Amino acid sequence: MKSLSAARLYGILDMGYVAPADAERVGAELCAGGVDVLQLRAKGWDELAIEALGQRIEPITRAAGVPLIVNDFPELTPSIGAQGAHIGQDDGAVEDARWRAGRALAGEVPLPLIGRSTHSVEQAVAAQAEGADYIGFGPLFPTPTKPGRPAIGLADIRRVHELVSIPIFCIGGIKLENLDTVLDAGARRVVIVSALLQASDIATACRAAKQIVDCRTLPGD
């Protein structure tokens, strides 16, 4: 399984962009293209439907060695076989999410990963202090993935990297066309959603993005 510390490109299987019948194909293309982490996001779906979908996607990510993260529902992590969960600012404490995602049993399995969405440097610092394994930082640009959420811009990217040592995945409106600009601003890891999911060739778009990020970041970053 790929390590979070080595991850550079975080993909999201966002069911707002993907037809349910295409979920496995799209998930496989994202993995084939080289995403280092894959999140399953199905806003508005009930838990049973998300669980069933996650159980279809998990064999694909497991075969690719890609950690699978469940959005919003940490309690589904064990039944899906995912490696962790991602929560927002209003989704309670990180420790509660980790408890619901399933603690390690006598050291036999890793603790589930818990990521937190953050929208300011202050929130990012707080997420690290409460034990998040990684953060999403954004949205950098306006994005239909987060309607109504104001963009925070690029000015704080370097500052947040100075203050936060856990992996920081910059997110929100990032596309191949502005990826260099985001990296120039100090980003080391990125999340790309619609630009990958809406590409005519998802795997090729992933490879192009990953090549840019990998060439601009160092292994120890």
Cβ–Cβ < 8 Å for 27, 55: no
Q: pLDDT for 29-86, tens place per residue? A: 999 999 999 999 999 999 999 999 999 999 999 999 999 999 999 999 999 999 999 9
Strands 134-137 and 84-87: unpaired
- Structure-block tokens of residue 54: 């996650």
Question: Taking residues 9-21, what's their average pLDDT?
Answer: 98
What is residue 172's DSSP assignment? S
Active site residue 100: no
The three state secondary structure string of the chain is CCCCCCCCEEEEEECCCCCHHHHHHHHHHHHHHCCCEEEEECCCCCHHHHHHHHHHHHHHHHHHCCCEEEECCHHHHHHHCCCEEEECCCCCCHHHHHHHHCCCCCCCCCCCEEEEEECCHHHHHHHHHCCCCEEEECCCCCCCCCCCCCCCCCCCHHHHHHHCCCCEEECCCCCCCCHHHHHHCCCCCEEECHHHHCCCCHHHHHHHHHHHHHHHCCCCC
Catalytic: which of 8, 41, 100, 175? Answer: 41
Question: Taking residues 3-17, what's their average pLDDT?
Answer: 96
Which residue ranges form the domains of the chain, and what is each CATH number?
9-116+171-216 (3.20.20.70)
Active site residue 8: no
Angle between helix axes 23-33 and 202-216 (nearest 10 degrees) is: 30
Question: Taking residues 182-188, what's their average pLDDT?
Answer: 96
| pLDDT of res. 174 | 97
Q: Name the residue type at position 44.
A: G
97/29 Cα distance (integer angstroms): 29
| pLDDT of res. 105 | 47
Average pLDDT value over all residues in the chain: 93
Residue 142 banded pLDDT, cuts 50, 70, 90: confident
pLDDT above 90 coverage of the chain, percent: 87
Whether the per-residue pLDDT at 217 is higher than 90: the answer is no
Q: pLDDT for 85-115, tens place per residue? A: 999 999 999 999 999 998 644 455 567 999 9
Active site residue 117: yes
| pLDDT of res. 102 | 86
Whether the per-residue pLDDT at 219 is higher than 60: the answer is no
Question: Taking residues 208-213, what's their average pLDDT?
Answer: 96
Catalytic: which of 100, 116, 117, 189? Answer: 117
Question: Taking residues 10-39, what's their average pLDDT?
Answer: 98
Catalytic: which of 2, 56, 146, 216? Answer: 146
Whether the per-residue pLDDT at 157 is higher than 80: the answer is yes
